[in-house]
């Protein structure tokens, strides 16, 4: 089950059925199926709190993924800071909705085993995000 929740903010407008189908489709391309995936949309304060507590990082980020996957079933809690997604979209000169979808699928790619710790793996992650985004826009609602 894929759920869209919020903490401290209003839930962003997302076509939940379409996005859920898209997530399942992308996971399947990596040989995975979706288990329990919770997207928790929050503000910068909450993501900073999580970053400090669980990752010992004292800075804001757009996404933190907690991976509870087992075998071929991906599961996890994916926290997304709407504040940071908005500022990133503005800084990159892209549409907020596009940046939000990029971050949503970024978490799924992490659950599917993709990392972004090196320059090369970051470039690969971006390529995979772009491929996934192209597929989202072709899904019927």
**Domain regions of the chain by residue span:** 2-136
**DSSP tally for the chain: helices H, then strands E:** 5, 4
Q: Crossing angle of helices 16-29/96-111, nearest 10°?
A: 40
CB-based contact 80:42 (threshold 8 Å): yes
pTM over 0.75? The answer is yes
Whether residue 82 contacts residue 41, with contact meaning beta carbons closer than 8 Å, is answered with yes
57-68 pLDDT, tens digit per residue, is 888 889 999 999
Spatial distance between the Cα atoms of 52 and 45, rounded to a whole number of angstroms = 11
CA 85/CA 42 separation, integer angstroms: 11
**Is the pLDDT assigned to residue 52 strictly greater than 70?**
yes
Q: In the numeric block, which tokens belong to residue 94?
A: 């892209």
Q: Strands of the chain (E only): list them.
A: 2-6, 33-42, 63-67, 73-81
Higher pLDDT, 137 or 129: 129
Mean pLDDT along residues 12-27? 95
What is the per-residue pLDDT for 56?
A: 82
**What would the pLDDT profile of 74-126 be if each residue is shown by its tens digit?**
999 999 999 999 999 999 999 999 999 999 999 999 999 999 888 999 999 99
The yes-or-no verdict on residue 140 having pLDDT over 80 is no
Which CATH entry fits the domain spanning 2-136: 3.30.70.20, 3.40.50.300, 3.40.390.30, 3.90.550.10?
A: 3.40.390.30
């Amino acid at each position: 089950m894929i759920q869209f929740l919020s903490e401290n903010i209003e839930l962003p407008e997302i076509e939940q059925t379409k996005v859920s189908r898209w997530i399942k489709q992308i996971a399947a391309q990596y040989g995975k199926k979706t288990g329990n995936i919770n997207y928790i949309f929050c503000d910068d304060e909450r993501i900073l709190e999580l970053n400090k507590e669980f990752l010992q990082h004292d800075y804001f980020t757009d996404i933190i993924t907690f991976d509870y996957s087992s075998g071929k079933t991906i599961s996890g809690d994916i926290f997304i800071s709407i504040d940071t997604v908005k500022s990133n979209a503005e800084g990159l000169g892209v549409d907020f909705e596009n940046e939000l979808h990029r971050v949503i699928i970024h978490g799924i790619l992490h659950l599917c085993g993709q990392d972004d710790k090196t320059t090369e793996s970051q470039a690969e992650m971006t390529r995979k995000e772009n491929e996934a985004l192209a597929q989202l826009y072709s899904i019927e609602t």
